[in-house]
A and B are shown apart, each in its own frame.
Chain A
């Protein structure tokens, strides 16, 4: 979902401090940004997304550009946050199933859905494990972040051709790893 023509007015309202405008902007990016961190195994994806929002709030005043540029701007911050996480925690892709189940139990929500979701997450993570770091970056930004090739090139500070090659090789690698029955299902 995109804001389209209304993006410009929402951005201006956000710069003037309108609560509704910030809610609209964050509503747009909260899912992809949190999902990006979750797909990369960050221990607390919402905390990481909160850091991105805070940086965004500090930098939005000086931001000028289209909605696509805004998304790129957001993921430049998110990617830096991911690098900080990797550098300090040196953490590999990990699961946080127990925490999430406990959270849901606390909220009195059905747990089976969480476990099913976790199973899917694990399959994807296993598929991502076979990729190189570059391929993981490109595919997660493309598919979870919803960025175009050009936007990914800007976030990663690489050339467009390079990003295309990395995406192609990454997808080929995933294709070779997927079991046939799972693929057909």
Chain B
């Protein structure tokens, strides 16, 4: 329901609108209160009258004509300014191309790093990517890395698991290999042991600095980690096994 003052307000608004139109058209408004706005209107209007770069609209005009002629003759137009995609599309294409390049680049780096072994320049990257779940090869990858460090073709679960512990580095590595192979994936124990193995492997990644006593010390630390994890491990009742299907199995599949 409109109030009684509504027509008067409408009339007042109409008068203001008419005066604003006059002001914007560069004429004198009837309402003197609006006169001070003239400077604002003049200044804002001056944006439309600023000098343009030499040849700016002319080049585009020539292109517009060329495009019109090309459309009539059904031939491609030769443009003097760079050919443009629609501005929204251009932004999207640029963004998509950038994203694609980043994805391809990162995938390539991750793929290259995934096959890295201790001593390779990108071994650290491999470990970092695995820590966030990218290319996490788990026990198999650790075994392959250990094999390379030892200079052997493969480290099977059978022969790595049967070695006794020792103070020398080779047995330390075998011990690590055996433990990695037998550790259920995804458990806290696997995490603890994985860290210990990583420390060992990272040290071994620099052959110039490797010496027997240090490797032995690291192997001890690894063993301690292994022991503490085992002490925290929940008891597994007979007949129950929380290992994944492939953990701890005899190396039948590996030896095929």
* Chain A residues packing against B (C-beta within 8 Å): 14-19, 21-23, 25-27, 30-32, 34-36, 38-39, 46, 49-51, 53-58, 60-61, 80-81, 84, 88, 103, 107, 117, 120-121, 123-124, 127-128, 139-140, 142-146, 149, 164, 167-168, 171, 174-175, 178, 180, 182-185
Q: Select one of A55, A128, A180 contacting B87, CB under 8 A.
A: A55
10 tightest CB-CB pairs across the interface, nearest first? A17-B69, A35-B48, A35-B47, A183-B36, A57-B64, A30-B57, A22-B61, A17-B68, A53-B60, A26-B57
Stretch at the interface among B37-45, B105-113, B139-147: B37-45
Q: Select one of A32, A81, A175 contacting B37, CB under 8 A.
A: A175
Knowing A19-B61, A168-B17 touch, does A31 contact B56 (C-beta < 8 A)?
no
CA distance A180 to B36 in the complex (A): 8
Does A17 lie within 8 Å of B63, measured CB to CB? no
| Residues on the B chain within 8 Å of A178, using CB | 36-37, 39-40
| Residues on the B chain within 8 Å of A183, using CB | 36-37, 39
Does B16 lie within 8 Å of A124, measured CB to CB? no
| Residues on the B chain within 8 Å of A60, using CB | 64, 68
Q: Select one of A50, A57, A145 contacting B67, CB under 8 A.
A: A57
Knowing A32-B48, A35-B47 touch, does A127 contact B68 (C-beta < 8 A)?
no
Q: Select one of A21, A30, A127, A140 contacting B56, CB under 8 A.
A: A30
Does B43 lie within 8 Å of A120, measured CB to CB? yes
CA distance A23 to B62 in the complex (A): 7
Knowing A23-B57, A164-B17, A167-B20 touch, does A127 contact B40 (C-beta < 8 A)?
yes
**Can you spell out 10 A-B residue pairs with CB atoms less than 8 angstroms apart?**
A19-B62, A30-B57, A31-B49, A39-B47, A80-B88, A81-B87, A175-B37, A178-B36, A183-B39, A185-B39
CA distance A60 to B91 in the complex (A): 23
Does B50 lie within 8 Å of A31, measured CB to CB? yes
CA distance A34 to B57 in the complex (A): 10
Query: What is the 8 Å Cβ interface bit string for chain B, positions 1-29, against chain A (1 contact, 0 not)?
Result: 00000000000010011001100100000
B242 interfacial by beta-carbon distance below 8 Å: no
Knowing A17-B68, A22-B65, A35-B48 touch, does A143 contact B87 (C-beta < 8 A)?
no
B152 interfacial by beta-carbon distance below 8 Å: no
Knowing A50-B81, A84-B88, A143-B45 touch, does A19 contact B65 (C-beta < 8 A)?
yes
CA distance A164 to B15 in the complex (A): 12
CA distance A89 to B20 in the complex (A): 33
Knowing A39-B47, A124-B47, A168-B17 touch, does A16 contact B57 (C-beta < 8 A)?
no
Query: What is the 8 Å Cβ interface bit string for chain B, positions 60-101, against chain A (1 contact, 0 not)?
Result: 111111111111100000000100101110010000000000
CA distance A31 to B62 in the complex (A): 17
B34 interfacial by beta-carbon distance below 8 Å: yes
B241 interfacial by beta-carbon distance below 8 Å: no
Beyond the given pairs A121-B47, A124-B47, 4 more chain A to chain B contacts, judged by CB atoms under 8 angstroms and listed by A's residue number, are A15-B68, A38-B47, A120-B43, A142-B24
CA distance A178 to B36 in the complex (A): 8
| Residues on the A chain within 8 Å of B50, using CB | 31, 34-35, 38, 117
User: Could you tell me the distance in whole angstroms from the C-beta of A88 to the nearest C-beta in chain B?
Assistant: 5
CA distance A175 to B29 in the complex (A): 14
Does A175 lie within 8 Å of B47, measured CB to CB? no
Does B47 lie within 8 Å of A174, measured CB to CB? no
CA distance A36 to B45 in the complex (A): 9
Centre residue among A16, A107, A171, A185 by max chain B CB count within 10 A = A171
| Residues on the B chain within 8 Å of A19, using CB | 61-62, 65
Does B43 lie within 8 Å of A123, measured CB to CB? yes
Q: Select one of B43, B60, B69 contacting A26, CB under 8 A.
A: B60
User: Could you tell me the distance in whole angstroms from the C-beta of A110 to the nearest C-beta in chain B?
Assistant: 12
Knowing A23-B57, A26-B64, A144-B44 touch, does A51 contact B87 (C-beta < 8 A)?
yes
